[in-house]
Structure 1
Amino acid sequence: MKALILDDDSLLADLMETVVGGLYPGVDIFVTASVRSALMHWSEHGSDLMIIDWNLPDGSGLEVVRTVREKSRETIIVMVSGRADRDSVLKAARHGINGYISKPFDVAMVHDRLTALMDPAALDRESRPDLEHLLQISVESVIQLPSAIDTAQVIELMERKQDLSPSQLAERWNDEVALTTRLLDVANSASFQKTGEPVRSLRDAIATMGVDMALRHAMAMSLDISGHLRDSRLAGKATAFLETAEKVAQEAVRIALRVGSDQSEVHMAALLSRVGELAVLKVMQQCLDRKGLVSDEQIEDGLKAWAQNYGNRLKVQWHLPLQLRELIGAVHFLPREVTSESKLVMHASALIADGQNQGEECLRLLRRLGVENHDRGSDDG
């Protein structure tokens, strides 16, 4: 499959590239901000999907639509514009577009629009894709987890949390109904409710729990993809992986509190420790959606063979700092000679979450951290 994205806003173009790459693994995506280069590329290579901005530095996106429609009715064309009035939509429609997206927009809406417009099975030219082949080509593409909240955006917010106020976060998340509900529930829980007066606004909920805690909950929600996996086996796996990651995160925060390590950093590393598995499950669901076959054995084998590759790919794609990448890796494996306190915390937490808190390796790590009497789930941190 070939796709062309024409937009002079680099952030929106990157967002569209991420969504398209996530929907259609292995897709060949050409991104440009120029009408001229878009037309040249299309004339030489063609395209199955074109996402075209209306106003561009060297002309109008409608010019591209007109040119393409003179020679092709099969290409799916989606117009993107800040114009949301009826006359503009009708004007674009007269040129033969397949869809119209008004700015600003969110990932979930774009995902749904493109899914409705395009038939993945037809575009792939395969009625029954092979899972192994799909996993091989998907790991080289832009990976997008099927969640209403973009994990990469939450990571970016975490990196500049010191500069964010509750009001700024509330404004950013104002349309995120599920996240708003969750943060209000947390803010009104016994842990935070001290005054007896209920918290009613998103801004007050964030102020009550703090920006860092609000971002932690947003991160967890961005990784909850179970509701987007229609196969019950895959959804169950996704739920189990996220629950495991959250258990590791809870233990990591408890130990970090006792040894004086950065709680936020170990918490984020723990939550991200199963993103590879989640990405693999997403590809398996895509295979099923395209009428492919995925057996129970293939699920287990695919996770074992590809989770690490997908996890590494996402670490690069999300531009995670080296320190954070190493902490995520320490959840799964820790060389005996490692002395980094944070890495020791990560691996000990993973062992405790796995029920190995009385095992020789776990006890050795806790002794090195100076918390030999650490009890799983203890209230003293």
Structure 2
Amino acid sequence: MTAPAHCVEVLIAEADPWTSNLLQQLVLDVRGDARVLQVGDGQAALARCKRRLPDLVIADGELPGLDGLELLRQLRRHPRTPALPFVLISGRFDASSVRAARPLAPSAYLAKPFNAEGLRQRLQALLPSATAAVVVRQPLLVSELHDFLDTVREEGQGAPLLSDVRNAVSQGLQAGEQDLGELEAIFASDPQITALLIAAASTAAQHQGVPCQTLAQALHRLGVARTLNLVLGLALQRNAQLRDPRLAELASHAWQQARRSADLARWLALELRLDAELCYTAGLLHNLGELALLRSLQDWLEAGGELRDEQIEQAMQRRAASFGSALRIRWRLPFGLRELIAAFYGLGSGVFSREALVLNLSGLLLALPPGEQPASLAEARCVRLLRLQQGLLERVPAELYQAC
């Protein structure tokens, strides 16, 4: 089936703005009527392709997060994309890298720095003429929001880094050697960095047989250089801010809630002489799924999808928990830490550690209606199991459980 030529769409996945703009100019030089879409990381490129296929993808082989070769590999797996024109530009041009790319049949595999004129000539062959008849393509890989969220829940890399943490990371890397105490002060406020470092340290410490469960333990095991490298990679991968104001407001609220729950859990643990840092970590990570879901909703918008207010509300109510669970499993967080996070939301049957009861109490305190005092929880199950005196409940600082 043929039809008159449609508006050609070219997706450029390139983290460097100067290079991305150069590629855009080369495309427009060949097809002045082309619609050029520019993204800065592989996850955003994949999300865009899942929403609607472009006519051509030009990708940097060393994209942050999902690199260009893996982007090509994932696109080739889908039955609708085996022949999608794809130009891969890579700094890796050794024999093994070329062999890895060959089975995926890129339309062109170019070495950095690429020759602009040579690429322009390739684009002339890859982009259909403005006057030619073209085959009508299947434009939608994933046309419904719920299908998109089902897919990215398992593939996504998690929540966006907060801008102040990204800035702190950059300053820390430029400042040279730092001690672990300084790094802990910088990273302790961000749940995704905390989860990443704990997961990395736990993997590195498997031979010791002792899981890593706090940020301080992770920093001690990883050291300064490894820590900065891990966080830098995360910052580069998720450096896009949430541009939709509705999502940005929800992300800010989720972060504030994470900070309050972490501070509250640590205060209670210190009062009870328990593991305060472990409780702080669990409190910080309890709503990680909300941040990951919000990132995915932003990706949906940037891929051309529509997002109504009621869809945002439904997604947050129905999917945040599953996004969080998927991330905690994907990052292989220690089971004990996952148990504490689960306790924040409720206690099932069985025996619980005192730290888990602290997390459950933190959740109850944060859920108190405005004006209600902590003493009203005197008969709560976690309070009874902890055998708390009413005086301790009365001493809980209001700023820790009351929203500002």
Amino acid across the alignment from 2:92: W
Structure 1 residues 309-324: aligned runs within 5 Å: 309-324=322-337
CA distance in 2, matches of 1:267, 1:361: 23
Q: Is the 8 A contact 2:49 2:141 kept in 1?
A: no
TM-score (norm 2): 0.54
Structure 1 residues 87-166: aligned runs within 5 Å: 89-90=113-114, 94=118, 125-126=139-140, 129-147=143-161
CA distance in 1, matches of 2:322, 2:117: 43
**Which residue of 2 is the match for residue 24 of structure 1?**
46
Q: Is the 8 A contact 1:26 1:140 kept in 2?
A: no
CA displacement 1:175-234 (0-9 Å, x = unmatched)? x533466x8xxxxxxxxxxxxxxxx96756x56x55544441354778999982222211
Q: Quick one: structure 1 residues 320 and 93, their matched pair in 2 at CA, closer, same or farther if it must change by over 3 Å?
A: farther
**Which residue of 1 is the match for residue 23 of structure 2?**
none
Distance apart, 1:304 and its partner CA: 1.4
Q: Is the 8 A contact 2:188 2:194 kept in 1?
A: no
Instruction: Give the aligned length.
Output: 275
Distance apart, 1:57 and its partner CA: 5.7
**Which residue of 1 is the match for residue 254 of structure 2?**
241
Distance apart, 1:131 and its partner CA: 1.7
CA distance in 2, matches of 1:378, 1:325: 27
Q: Is the 8 A contact 1:245 1:273 kept in 2?
A: yes
Q: Which one of 279, 297, 306 corresponds to residue 292 of structure 2?
A: 279
| Bigger Cα Rg | 2
CA distance in 2, matches of 1:311, 1:56: 39
Structure 1 residues 152-301: aligned runs within 5 Å: 177-179=167-169, 209=181, 211-219=183-191, 228-301=241-314
Q: Is the 8 A contact 1:62 1:95 kept in 2?
A: no
Q: Is the 8 A contact 1:146 1:282 kept in 2?
A: yes
Amino acid across the alignment from 1:274: N
1:376 aligns with 2:396: yes
**Which residue of 2 is the match for residue 54 of structure 1?**
92
CA distance in 1, matches of 2:97, 2:258: 49
Q: Which one of 380, 383, 402 corresponds to residue 366 of structure 1?
A: 383
Q: Is the 8 A contact 1:277 1:311 kept in 2?
A: yes
Q: Quick one: structure 1 residues 27 and 220, their matched pair in 2 at CA, closer, same or farther if it must change by over 3 Å?
A: same
Superposed CA RMSD in Å reads 4.8
CA distance in 2, matches of 1:361, 1:56: 67
Q: Is the 8 A contact 1:246 1:271 kept in 2?
A: yes
Amino acid across the alignment from 2:154: E
CA displacement 1:25-54 (0-9 Å, x = unmatched)? 498999989xxx99x999x94566557551
CA distance in 2, matches of 1:124, 1:274: 37
Q: Is the 8 A contact 1:229 1:285 kept in 2?
A: yes
Distance apart, 1:60 and its partner CA: 4.6
CA distance in 2, matches of 1:280, 1:124: 27
Q: Is the 8 A contact 2:42 2:67 kept in 1?
A: no
Distance apart, 1:248 and its partner CA: 0.8
CA distance in 2, matches of 1:360, 1:212: 33
CA distance in 2, matches of 1:210, 1:364: 39
Q: In structure 2, the residue corresponding to 1:217 is in which secondary structure?
A: coil
**Which residue of 2 is the match for residue 7 of structure 1?**
none
Q: Is the 8 A contact 1:259 1:369 kept in 2?
A: no
1:326 aligns with 2:339: yes
Distance apart, 1:278 and its partner CA: 1.5
CA displacement 1:242-263 (0-9 Å, x = unmatched)? 1111111011101111222222
**Which residue of 1 is the match for residue 131 of structure 2?**
none
Identical-pair percentage: 21
Amino acid across the alignment from 1:288: L
Amino acid across the alignment from 1:58: S
Q: Quick one: structure 1 residues 226 and 257, their matched pair in 2 at CA, closer, same or farther if it must change by over 3 Å?
A: farther
CA distance in 1, matches of 2:168, 2:121: 32
Q: Is the 8 A contact 2:189 2:259 kept in 1?
A: no
CA distance in 2, matches of 1:134, 1:203: 42
